[in-house]
Amino acid sequence: MARLVLSRDLAALAARDPDIARELARIGPPPDRRRPPGFAALLRIILGQQVSVQAAAAMWRRLEALLGDDTVAPEALASRADAELRACGFSRQKIIYARALAEALASGALDLARVGRLRDDAAIAALTTVKGIGVWSAEIYLLFALGRGDAFPAGDLALRVGYQRLKGLAEAPGTAALREMTAPWRPYRGAAAHLLWHSYANPPLG
């Protein structure tokens, strides 16, 4: 369970892959997007599923305003009516998923402290027992909340397109192909993911 150290890991990647070294020189190092682990981090990931970054951020701001002085905790969310969550921008599906997560934590079915001690594969398996948390969401949590150095959400479209641009491919690889193609980057794929997202947001001119 190697820990992500962004500057160190990017330097190691640049030393072994000239395309990464070139991209780092072009756009500079990516921002560190990690957040503290816990319910709030997982809930933000659920809100970010299949919506734009801007839409997810807007939902989160409205939820924080709704809860006021309460922290974004399972009990605080569970106490709110569906209509209040819809007013924050939650879809019916996101309400179901958010409540499933809150219930799993309240009942002890999901123990995030224990998840933090598990190896990557076991942590993903534990997280994906909760309705609404798939492999992509679990891998995002491992990367951003647990700081796992080799976590790589290969199903993410921006990562697939970022890799396509980095390597000059005719099309973006699929999830399984991307996992295979990025195997030479192990155990630093977490840093590579940060760089590919940064590259996706800063495409070459022309």
Question: For the segment 67-126, what is each residue's pLDDT rounded down to a tens digit?
Answer: 876 678 899 999 999 999 999 999 999 999 999 999 999 999 999 999 999 999 999 999
Distance between CA 118 and CA 125 in Å, rounded? Answer: 10
Q: Which residues contact 71 (CB under 8 A, 6 or more apart)?
A: 40
Amino acid at 88: C
- DSSP annotation of 50 reads T
Residue 23 has a pLDDT of 97
Distance between CA 50 and CA 108 in Å, rounded? Answer: 28
Amino acid at 89: G
- DSSP annotation of 148 reads B
Residue 33 has a pLDDT of 86
The number of C-alpha atoms within 13 Å of 100 and in the hemisphere containing its C-beta is 14
Residue 1 has a pLDDT of 75
Residue 206 has a pLDDT of 61
Q: Between 136 and 53, whose confidence is greater?
A: 136
Distance between CA 19 and CA 86 in Å, rounded? Answer: 44
Alpha helices in the chain (DSSP H): 6-16, 18-27, 39-47, 53-67, 74-78, 82-87, 92-107, 112-115, 120-127, 135-144, 157-167, 175-181, 189-201
Q: Is the pLDDT of residue 49 over 80?
A: yes
* Whole-structure pTM value: 0.94
CB distance 193 to 152 below 8 Å: yes
